Structure 1
C-alpha cells in the first residue's frame, strides 16, 4: 500500500510503498477514509530533531494523527466491530495502566518518556496511508456521519474542546467574554464550540481578513491585529478584560496579547505550540489570573466532539486531496496557502 512517510529528521515527507499492516491482539485494521494534515506535522519534519527533547518521535514512520476510517478487520480478542462501520481515531497512545491512561487521558501518560511513540502518526504509523491499525479502545463511532469531513475532529476539534472545557467555570456566568487568538483550523472550531457550550461574547482576532470574516459569520466579534489591539479588546469588555483567552498560536507576542487582555480571575489557555515565552510581573498581571497550557484531550472528550459534530454544532472547514497530492498539501500547509484543513483521502 502507499503511505506518506517521515523518513528522517528535518526531511520533507515522501510517498512510499509499504506493507499493509495486520491488526495485532486488541487492534482494529481500518481502511482509511481521511487523514488531516496538521501544522504540528510541519514541526515534525521542519523543526524537530533529537535535541527537541520529546521522546518517541524518531523517524521513520507514517504521518497522520487525525484519522477516520472503516473497519476492515480485527485482531485477536476484539469483538463488537462490524466491517464497513465508520470510526474516528483517538490519536494519543499511553502506557494504558497509569492514573492518566485509565481515565482516558493518554495524552498525559505518566510513563510517556519511556514509551516507543507518542501517538498514532506521532512515532507510530499513522493514518496518512491506505490502511492503519489502531487499538480498539481508541475508536469512536461516527454512525452515518461523513468520515472524511470528520477526520480533523481528532485534533482540530478535540484540542480546542478540551481547552474550552477546562475554562468553563470562567465562562458559565452572565456577561462573560472569551477571546480566541488565531483563526486557523483549531481557532475556527473553537469559535463554534464556544458558541454551542457557552453564552459568552466571543472576540476573535487574526492577521488574515478572510479568517476573521469567517469567524464573524460564526458569531464572533472580530478585532484586527496591529497597534492598540489589546486596548480595543478591553474596550469591547467595558474595560475589565476577557474571562478566558484561548491562544491557538502560542508565540511570545500572542501570549503577551493574552496577558494584556485577560480580566482579574481570568484564565489564559495556551494551545498553540509556536514556542513563545512568558514575561510575568506582579504589578501588571491581573490578580488571580492563570496562565496554563493544554495538549490534545481525552477519549471521553472525543466522544463529546463527535456528538457535537453529528448534531451540526461544529463543522470543520475541509479541503480534500488525493493520496497522490498529499505532498502538495503539505507544501501548501507549510507555505500558509491553505484556507481549510487539508484532508488526504486515500481511496478517492
Structure 2
C-alpha cells in the first residue's frame, strides 16, 4: 500500500510502498477515509532533530498522520462489539493504558510516558497517511453516518480547541463575557465555532490574514487585525474590562504578550499553540487572579463530544481534499502557507 513516510530529520517526507499492516490483539485495521496534514507534522520533519527533547519518541521511520478517520476493515483477536464497514474517528494519543491519566481517557498526560516507545498515531507509531491503519479498538470514536473524510481533522483540530474551551468554561459562564481566539488556522476556526455553539460569549478573533478573518466573521466572530494597536482595539471592544478567556493557537512570544495585555481580572489565558514562545510575568502587571496555562490535545471522552457537535451540524471543518498520489503536495502547500483550514488526504476518494 502507499504511505507518506517520515524518513529522517530535516528531510521532506516520501511517498512509499509498504506492506499493509495486520491488527494484533485488541486492535482494528481501518481503511483510511481521511488523514489531516498538521503543522505538528511539519515541525517533526522540518524543524526538529535528534537532539529535540522528545526526539526519542518521534524518531524515523514511520507513517505520518495523527488526525485520522476510517472504516473498519478487520478486527484483531479479542475485539468485539465493532462491525466491519462502520466509520470512526481515531483518538491519536496512546498512553500506557493503566495509569490515572489513561484511566480517564487522557493518554496525552500519561504518567508513564517515559516508558512508551511513541507518543501516538503518526507520532512515532504508524499513522493514517496511508491506505490502511491499525489502531487500538479503545481509541475508536463512532461517526455514524457523518462524512468521515471531512471529519478527519476533528481528531486534533477539533479535539484540541474543544478541550481548551471546556477547561475554561468557568470564565465564560453568565452574561457579558468575552472570548478571544488568537490565530485562525484550522484549530482557531473550529475554536470560534465551538465558542459560538457552547457559550453566550462575544467572540473576538485576530490574525494577520484577511481571508482567515473573513472566515471567522462568517462564523460569528468580531475580528481585529494584528498590528501595533491590536491589544488596544481588543480592549476597546470589551469596554476596557478585558477578555475573560483567551485562546492562543499560535504560542509565539508576541501572541502570548497580546494575551497578557488584554486578559481581564480573574480571566484565563490558554496557550494551545506549541511554538514555544517565552514571556515575562510579574505580580504588578498581571491582572489579579488571571491565569496563564496550557493544554495539549484532549481526552477520548472529549472526542466523543466533538463528534456529537459535528453530527449536530454545530461545527464544520474547512477542508481541502487531496488524493493519495498528491499527498506530498498537501504537506508542501502547508509549508508554503497555502492551506486555508485543513488539508486532508483521502486515499480512497
Partners of 1:278 and 1:123 in 2: CA distance: 30
2:189–2:341 CA contact under 8 A, matched in 1: no
Partners of 1:173 and 1:42 in 2: CA distance: 40
* Secondary structure at the counterpart of residue 3 of structure 1: strand
Q: Which residue of 1 aligns with 2:34?
A: 34
Note if 1:25 corresponds to 2:25: yes
Kindly provide the CA deviation profile for residues 161-197 of structure 1, in whole angstroms up to 9, marking residues without a partner as x: 0000000000011101000000000000000000010
How much is the aligned-residue C-alpha RMSD, in angstroms? 0.6
Partners of 2:176 and 2:298 in 1: CA distance: 27
* Secondary structure at the counterpart of residue 4 of structure 1: strand
Note if 1:135 corresponds to 2:136: yes
Q: Which runs of 4+ in 1 moved over 3 A?
A: none
Q: Which residue of 2 aligns with 1:291?
A: 292
Kindly provide the CA deviation profile for residues 88-147 of structure 1, in whole angstroms up to 9, marking residues without a partner as x: 000000000010001100010011122100000100000000000000000000000000
Q: Which residue of 2 aligns with 1:330?
A: 331
Partners of 2:81 and 2:57 in 1: CA distance: 31
Paired residues for 1:231-270 under 5 Å:
231-270=232-271
Q: Which residue of 2 aligns with 1:218?
A: 219
Partners of 2:3 and 2:94 in 1: CA distance: 20
Q: Which residue of 1 aligns with 2:45?
A: 45
Q: Which residue of 2 aligns with 1:79?
A: 80
Instruction: Note the residue ranges of structure 1 that are not aligned, 5 or more in a row.
Output: none
2:26–2:79 CA contact under 8 A, matched in 1: yes
* Secondary structure at the counterpart of residue 231 of structure 2: helix
Q: Which residue of 1 aligns with 2:276?
A: 275
Partners of 2:151 and 2:339 in 1: CA distance: 18
Partners of 2:288 and 2:112 in 1: CA distance: 35
Q: Which residue of 1 aligns with 2:172?
A: 171
Cα displacement (A) at 1:80: 1.0
Q: Which residue of 2 aligns with 1:124?
A: 125
Instruction: Note the residue ranges of structure 2 that are not aligned, 5 or more in a row.
Output: none
* Secondary structure at the counterpart of residue 31 of structure 1: strand
Partners of 1:75 and 1:260 in 2: CA distance: 53
* Secondary structure at the counterpart of residue 257 of structure 2: helix
Cα displacement (A) at 1:49: 1.6
Partners of 2:276 and 2:327 in 1: CA distance: 27
Q: Which residue of 2 aligns with 1:97?
A: 98
2:89–2:140 CA contact under 8 A, matched in 1: yes
* Secondary structure at the counterpart of residue 330 of structure 1: helix
* Secondary structure at the counterpart of residue 8 of structure 1: coil
Kindly provide the CA deviation profile for residues 242-266 of structure 1, in whole angstroms up to 9, marking residues without a partner as x: 0000000000000000000100010
Partners of 1:216 and 1:342 in 2: CA distance: 21
Partners of 2:341 and 2:240 in 1: CA distance: 34
TM-score (ref. length: structure 1): 0.99
Partners of 1:340 and 1:273 in 2: CA distance: 18
* Secondary structure at the counterpart of residue 168 of structure 2: helix
* Secondary structure at the counterpart of residue 76 of structure 1: coil
Cα displacement (A) at 1:333: 0.1
TM-score (ref. length: structure 2): 0.99
Partners of 1:58 and 1:112 in 2: CA distance: 15
Task: Give the length in aligned residue pairs.
Answer: 348
Cα displacement (A) at 1:340: 2.5
2:267–2:289 CA contact under 8 A, matched in 1: yes
Partners of 1:346 and 1:202 in 2: CA distance: 36
* Secondary structure at the counterpart of residue 41 of structure 1: helix
Of stretches 236-245 and 48-57 in structure 1, the one that deviates more from structure 2 is 48-57
Partners of 2:221 and 2:340 in 1: CA distance: 18
Partners of 1:17 and 1:151 in 2: CA distance: 23
